[in-house]
């Protein structure tokens, strides 16, 4: 018996060796060129070779214990692939028919496919790969004509060219200017099955950005890694699928030319990273439908991407102020105490929020009339003080008897259905057993408006916070389990937290109006944001809706702001807030921030102070924490801490005109509000991985303290002119370099970039008060070839009207300065407002002295010039200095 076993063992090894030897394509593949043929758990040699793949321990490498490492099972070079059998050219479209002779190891493989390549614009193209014989699910958004760019008819006008290899089929997209491929699918085979699609592309660099939503650094290195997409309610955790789906990435080549890629697919997905460098996209449904953007600058890429998915909303002005919230006020008396104590110490403060504890039994569209008796009066009091109120709404609707939102929803057929029954799927969320609205159903939009309107009649809220909309579920699937069909248990499951698609959400097999939840899960929050947007437009008439959403998809920024979810009161989470907001600006959601001081866990005074300082530069600024942590609103801390927080907030409120102008440019042109340094300095390679500093627009560089106990901070300054924001002191640089800066707990390091003019406004405790105050201009001069100069602009409207831009009901100013003066010109005049300029600061004015100042030709003597710091300050105390059509200020 022993001899037989030994013989069989030897025979088996000989068979394996023979198989290996018969496939000479296996031993020619280096470690970094291996593409995983067994991305599921439990790879083994027998199953690997049944797939027709290579099995071999990595050469000269010991396998690590972590999940992602050099695969043992990988594709041979001659793995079966598709071949081109037909080609047609029409106008700006190339259409190919590709076929594969035999199925490989994935079930229900589709052997005949159609490839459609559309030359969309000069700098953007689209590739779709579909089953020509059968309709497959496609993302039901973005199917519109693009206003900004006409469709191309002459493909020679493009900045790219296409190369298609016939056998085996692969695509290369080449940048004409340098002949380099920016997309190259030749690195691994295309697999296209009913519930498994896989394709790869070589990266142009081993550093790339995007691929969200994940808790991660800003830049990603092309090492063995995996990013999973299946929207999930979970506190931000590394290597875990989180709240949103944005399969977009950007990379820069060695000449600093940027390119972007976006896969328009809403199904569960893994993106595997190889050190080749390459990315492999694995999605469990839909079609291959991707866009490639040519840039060539990082900002160009984002503009091209947001032109496709939709530009970020223009926010109401008050939403740029400071927001205060917590889950755990518990009573209206406690809530009112918090409001009054922060008013009393003069904290700039615009918006008060309530969480689910203000609801009656945690039921949507209610308030607790016992514990929050005074809530209607508190909201009226907020409005009387120029403040605003936002309340939370979770999508899950309690199925308790006689609860109107549920009873009316059943009648209007608005809830997600169980797969095999014409009745709502029931899960469990905060109020107990719940049904889940189907926001893809047209009936739901009207029903949602009705609920929102009914509650608005009781509480005059100013915005809505839509949370738990992944959708979150406290049981897996439903209270009755799931069908267990091919949607609940597909042949391949991405590496989702919990191991199953139904983990803490609804059944993938459940049915929605447009398709199965399997196809629509990652867009649930997106469709809720759309329905909420339309509800608020109807209720608040011509005002821009303010919505904060946790779950997001490509294009959500048109309708809602976003925050990074249930973070923790840790220094690590303080840091992660920076790459998160920078990434979401790339994803087209400009108004983004994190829960300041942390959502869970007790903060410390030092951490909260530092977080308030950093948060003063978030596009969306809210302090929020949970029901078991201690209070963390500014008024609960020491007088010293209160003063520091107030100082940081005053800086923010002063800069709101600058922020508002950036939001205008984001809405109209696709610019980012906050951005990484490499967006402005792509040729400086040192900037490419910096994510502990960031820029607000092109002109403000923020270098925050992110570690406990530090009173110095190390920051990188590109070879540019930089001034201290408050003092005007110029940094002396001869090249890009790291500098160690003093960073006492009282201050944040902010520097102004030469060549820019920043509008600001004297701050008050609310934006409503601040908007009545005079403006100022900060001129930061920069030397060019012949002289010093600075440029700037300012957008200004009533801060709330939905159609301000379309109707030109706004003012727009351009500013130009040199070493001798400043000229202002109002190029759009549509908003009647008395806009007064009260002061002017000029940094970098390299003169021995300034003896006179002329305003529109009239001498003015209220100015001060510091010849050591080269700073000129002018105060317009005795003149009625209006920001009018044109004005000039001359100094000498």
Return the CATH class of domain 674-752. mainly beta
pLDDT at 799: 98
For the chain, the residue count is 892
pLDDT at position 24 over 90? no
Could you give the CA distance from residue 371 to residue 640 in angstroms, rounded to a whole number? 33
Could you give the CA distance from residue 293 to residue 631 in angstroms, rounded to a whole number? 46
Average pLDDT over residues 69-79: 94
At what angle are helices 605-615 and 571-586 packed, to 10 degrees?
20
pLDDT at 884: 84
pLDDT at 392: 98
Q: pTM of this prediction?
A: 0.96
At what angle are helices 524-539 and 442-456 packed, to 10 degrees?
50
pLDDT at 591: 98
Res. 65 pLDDT band, cuts 50 70 90: very low
Average pLDDT over residues 643-661: 98
Average pLDDT over residues 630-652: 98
pLDDT at position 877 over 80? no
The set of residues, in sequence order, having a beta carbon less than 8 Å from that of 753 and lying 6+ positions away, is: 680, 698, 699, 700, 701, 720, 721, 722, 780, 782
360-382 confidence digits (pLDDT tens): 999 999 999 999 999 999 999 99
Could you give the CA distance from residue 28 to residue 48 in angstroms, rounded to a whole number? 18
Could you give the CA distance from residue 808 to residue 777 in angstroms, rounded to a whole number? 24
HSE-CB for 783 with a 13 A CA cutoff: 9
CATH 4.10.110.10 range(s) for the chain read: 19-74
Could you give the CA distance from residue 613 to residue 705 in angstroms, rounded to a whole number? 9
pLDDT at 91: 83
Omega before 289 within 30 of 0, i.e. cis: no
% the chain with pLDDT above 90: 90
pLDDT at 2: 39
Res. 216 pLDDT band, cuts 50 70 90: very high
Average pLDDT over residues 865-881: 89
Q: Which residue has the higher pLDDT, 398 or 65?
A: 398
Could you give the CA distance from residue 10 to residue 7 in angstroms, rounded to a whole number? 5
Could you give the CA distance from residue 779 to residue 781 in angstroms, rounded to a whole number? 6
- Strand 592-593 to 561-563 pairing: parallel
Average pLDDT over residues 866-885: 88
Please name every residue paired with 233 in a beta bridge, in sequence order, or none if there are none: none
The set of residues, in sequence order, having a beta carbon less than 8 Å from that of 263 and lying 6+ positions away, is: 247, 248, 269, 281, 283, 288, 289, 290
Work out the end-to-end distance of the chain between its first and last CA atoms, rounded to an integer number of angstroms.
105
Could you give the CA distance from residue 804 to residue 673 in angstroms, rounded to a whole number? 20
Long-range contacts from 140-149, C-beta under 8 angstroms, 24+ separation: 140/440, 140/514, 141/523, 141/526, 141/555, 142/264, 142/308, 142/309, 142/310, 142/554, 142/555, 146/120, 146/121, 146/307, 146/308, 148/307, 149/120, 149/121, 149/122, 149/124, 149/307
pLDDT at 148: 41
Nearest alpha-carbon partner for 247 in 223, 202, 280? 280
Q: What are phi and psi of 523, to 5 degrees?
A: -110, 10
Element (H, E) at 815: strand 811-818
Omega before 817 within 30 of 0, i.e. cis: no
Average pLDDT over residues 222-229: 97
CATH 3.20.20.80 range(s) for the chain read: 317-397+438-470+516-655
- Whether 500 and 492 have beta carbons less than 8 Å apart is answered as no
Q: What is the 3-state secondary structure (H, E, C) of 522-572?
A: HHHHHHHHHHHHHHHHHHCCCECCCEEECCEECCHHHCCEEECCCCECCHH
Res. 728 pLDDT band, cuts 50 70 90: very high
Could you give the CA distance from residue 318 to residue 358 in angstroms, rounded to a whole number? 23
Average pLDDT over residues 562-575: 98
Q: Which residue has the higher pLDDT, 142 or 405?
A: 405
The DSSP call for residue 3 is H
- Whether 791 and 815 have beta carbons less than 8 Å apart is answered as yes
pLDDT at position 450 over 90? yes
Could you give the CA distance from residue 67 to residue 238 in angstroms, rounded to a whole number? 13
pLDDT at 21: 35
Buried b (16+ CB within 10 A) or exposed e, 538-575: ebbeebbbbbbbbbbbbbbbbbbbbbbbbbbbebebbb
- Whether 587 and 287 have beta carbons less than 8 Å apart is answered as no
In whole angstroms, how far apart are CA 166 and each of 172, 547, 836?
12, 49, 67
Average pLDDT over residues 4-11: 38
> Within its chain, how far is the Cα of 758 from the centroid?
25
pLDDT at position 297 over 70? yes
- Whether 482 and 420 have beta carbons less than 8 Å apart is answered as no
Q: Which residue has the higher pLDDT, 17 or 516?
A: 516
Element (H, E) at 824: strand 821-829
Res. 62 pLDDT band, cuts 50 70 90: low
List residues with catalytic annotation: 467, 470
Architecture category of domain 83-309 in CATH: Sandwich (2.60)
pLDDT at position 559 over 50? yes
Please report the sign of the dihedral spanned by the C-alpha atoms of residue 724, residue 730, residue 734, residue 740.
Answer: negative
pLDDT at 142: 62
- Whether 249 and 281 have beta carbons less than 8 Å apart is answered as no
CATH 2.60.40.1180 range(s) for the chain read: 674-752, 774-891
469-493 confidence digits (pLDDT tens): 999 999 999 999 999 999 999 999 9
324-344 confidence digits (pLDDT tens): 999 999 999 999 999 999 999
- Classify domain 19-74 at the CATH topology level: Spasmolytic Protein; domain 1 (4.10.110)
Res. 151 pLDDT band, cuts 50 70 90: low
- Strand 595-596 to 621-623 pairing: parallel
At what angle are helices 404-411 and 442-456 packed, to 10 degrees?
150
Could you give the CA distance from residue 717 to residue 719 in angstroms, rounded to a whole number? 7
Average pLDDT over residues 803-832: 97
Q: Describe the chain by its helix, strand, coil percentages, rounded to 5.
A: 25, 30, 50
Neighbours of 810 (CB within 10 A): 18
Could you give the CA distance from residue 419 to residue 403 in angstroms, rounded to a whole number? 25
Omega before 471 within 30 of 0, i.e. cis: yes
Could you give the CA distance from residue 609 to residue 570 in angstroms, rounded to a whole number? 13
Could you give the CA distance from residue 804 to residue 792 in angstroms, rounded to a whole number? 21
Return the CATH class of domain 774-891. mainly beta
Q: Which residue has the higher pLDDT, 20 or 438?
A: 438
DSSP string, 409-460: HHHTT-BPBPTTSSSB-EEEETTEEEE-B-TTSHHHHHHHHHHHHHHHTTS-
The correct CATH number of 317-397+438-470+516-655 out of 3.40.190.100, 3.40.50.800, 3.30.830.10, 3.20.20.80 is 3.20.20.80
- Whether 549 and 560 have beta carbons less than 8 Å apart is answered as yes
In sequence order, what E strands does 570-724 have?
Answer: 592-593, 595-596, 621-623, 674-675, 694-696, 700-703, 712-717, 722-724
Q: Is 316 exposed, middle or buried (0-12, 13-18, 19+ CB in 10 A)?
A: buried
Average pLDDT over residues 632-648: 98
The DSSP call for residue 254 is T
Lowest mean pLDDT among 49-53, 61-65, 567-571: 61-65
Nearest alpha-carbon partner for 115 in 104, 103, 126? 126
The pLDDT mean for the chain works out to 94
Could you give the CA distance from residue 826 to residue 290 in angstroms, rounded to a whole number? 42
HSE-CB for 21 with a 13 A CA cutoff: 6
Res. 662 pLDDT band, cuts 50 70 90: very high
Average pLDDT over residues 572-593: 98
CATH 2.60.40.1760 range(s) for the chain read: 83-309
Average pLDDT over residues 630-648: 98
Please name every residue paired with 344 in a beta bridge, in sequence order, or none if there are none: none
């Amino acid at each position: 018996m022993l001899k037989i076993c030994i013989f069989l063992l030897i025979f088996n090894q000989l068979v394996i060796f023979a198989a290996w030897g018969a496939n000479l394509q296996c031993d020619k593949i280096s470690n970094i060129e291996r593409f995983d043929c067994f991305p599921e758990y439990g790879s083994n040699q027998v199953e690997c070779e049944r797939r027709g793949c290579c099995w071999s321990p990595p050469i000269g490498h010991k396998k690590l214990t972590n999940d992602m490492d050099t695969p043992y099972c990988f594709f041979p070079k001659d793995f079966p692939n598709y071949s081109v059998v037909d080609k047609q050219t029409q106008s700006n479209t190339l259409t190919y028919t590709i076929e594969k002779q035999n199925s490989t190891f994935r079930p229900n493989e589709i052997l005949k496919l159609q490839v459609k390549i559309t030359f969309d614009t000069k700098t953007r193209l689209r590739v779709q790969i579909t089953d020509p014989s059968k309709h497959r699910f496609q993302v039901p958004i973005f199917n519109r004509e693009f206003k900004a760019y006409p469709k191309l008819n002459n493909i020679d006008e493009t900045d790219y060219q296409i190369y298609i290899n016939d056998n085996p089929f692969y695509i290369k997209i080449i940048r004409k200017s340098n002949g380099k491929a920016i997309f190259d699918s030749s690195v691994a085979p295309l697999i296209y099955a009913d519930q498994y699609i896989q394709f790869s592309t070589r990266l142009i660099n081993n550093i790339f950005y995007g691929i969200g939503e994940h808790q991660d650094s800003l830049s990603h290195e092309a090492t063995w890694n995996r990013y999973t997409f299946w929207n999930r309610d979970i506190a931000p955790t590394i290597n875990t699928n989180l709240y949103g789906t944005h399969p977009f990435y950007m990379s820069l080549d060695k000449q600093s030319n940027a390119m972007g890629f976006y896969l328009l697919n809403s199904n569960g997905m893994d993106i595997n990273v190889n050190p080749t460098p390459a990315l492999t996209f694995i999605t469990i449904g839909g079609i291959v439908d991707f866009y490639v953007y040519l840039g060539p600058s990082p900002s160009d890429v984002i503009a091209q991407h947001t032109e496709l998915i939709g530009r970020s909303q223009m926010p109401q002005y008050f939403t740029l102020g400071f927001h205060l919230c917590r889950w755990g006020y518990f009573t209206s008396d406690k809530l009112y105490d918090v409001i009054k104590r922060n008013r009393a110490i003069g904290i700039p403060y615009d918006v008060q929020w309530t969480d689910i504890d203000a609801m009656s039994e945690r039921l949507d569209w209610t308030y607790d009339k016992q514990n929050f008796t005074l809530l209607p009066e508190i909201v009226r009091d907020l409005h009387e003080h120029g403040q605003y109120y936002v309340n939370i709404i979770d999508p899950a609707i309690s199925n308790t008897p006689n609860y109107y939102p549920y009873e009316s929803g059943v009648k209007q057929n608005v809830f997600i259905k169980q797969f095999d029954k014409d009745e709502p799927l029931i899960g469990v969320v905060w109020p107990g057993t719940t049904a889940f609205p189907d926001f893809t159903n047209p009936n739901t939009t009207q029903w949602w408006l009705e609920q929102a309107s009914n509650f608005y009649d009781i509480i005059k809220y100013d915005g809505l916070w839509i949370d738990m909309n992944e959708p979150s579920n406290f049981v897996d699937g439903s209270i009755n389990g799931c069908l267990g069909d091919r949607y609940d248990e597909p042949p391949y499951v991405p590496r989702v937290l919990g191991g199953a698609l139904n983990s803490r959400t609804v059944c993938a097999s459940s049915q929605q109006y447009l398709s199965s939840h399997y196809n629509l899960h990652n867009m649930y929050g997106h469709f809720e944001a759309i329905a909420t947007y339309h509800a608020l437009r109807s209720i608040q008439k011509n005002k821009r809706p303010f919505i904060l959403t946790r779950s997001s998809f490509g294009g959500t920024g048109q309708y809602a702001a976003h925050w990074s979810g249930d973070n923790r009161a840790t220094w690590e989470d303080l840091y992660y807030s920076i790459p998160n907001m920078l990434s979401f600006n790339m994803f087209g959601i400009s108004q983004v921030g994190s829960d300041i001081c942390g959502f869970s866990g007790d903060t410390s005074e030092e951490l909260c102070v530092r977080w308030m300082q950093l948060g003063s530069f978030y596009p969306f600024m809210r302090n929020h924490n949970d029901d078991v942590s201690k209070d963390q609103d500014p008024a609960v801390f020491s007088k010293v801490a209160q003063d520091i927080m107030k100082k940081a907030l005053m800086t923010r409120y002063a800069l709101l005109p600058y922020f508002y102008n950036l939001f205008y440019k984001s809405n109209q042109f696709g610019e980012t509000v906050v951005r990484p340094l490499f967006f402005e300095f792509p040729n400086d390679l040192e900037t490419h991985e910096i994510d502990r500093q960031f820029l607000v627009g092109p002109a403000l560089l923020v270098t925050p303290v992110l570690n406990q106990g530090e009173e110095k901070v190390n920051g990188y300054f590109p070879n540019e002119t930089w001034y201290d924001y408050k003092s005007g002191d110029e940094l002396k640089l001869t090249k890009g370099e790291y500098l160690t800066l003093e960073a006492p707990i009282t201050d944040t390091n902010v520097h102004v970039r030469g060549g820019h003019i920043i509008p600001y406004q004297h701050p008050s405790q609310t934006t409503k008060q601040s908007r009545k105050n005079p403006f100022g201009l900060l001129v930061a001069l920069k030397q060019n070839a012949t002289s010093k100069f600075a440029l700037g602009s300012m957008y200004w409207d009533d801060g709330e009207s939905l159609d301000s831009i379309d109707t030109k009901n706004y003012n727009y100013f351009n500013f130009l300065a040199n070493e001798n003066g400043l000229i202002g010109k109002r190029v759009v005049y549509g908003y009647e407002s008395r806009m007064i300029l009260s002061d002017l600061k000029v940094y970098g004015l390299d003169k021995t002295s300034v003896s006179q100042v002329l305003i529109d030709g009239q001498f003015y003597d209220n100015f001060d010039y510091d010849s050591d710091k080269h700073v000129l300050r002018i105060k317009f105390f005795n003149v009625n200095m209006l920001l009018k059509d044109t004005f000039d200020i001359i100094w000498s």
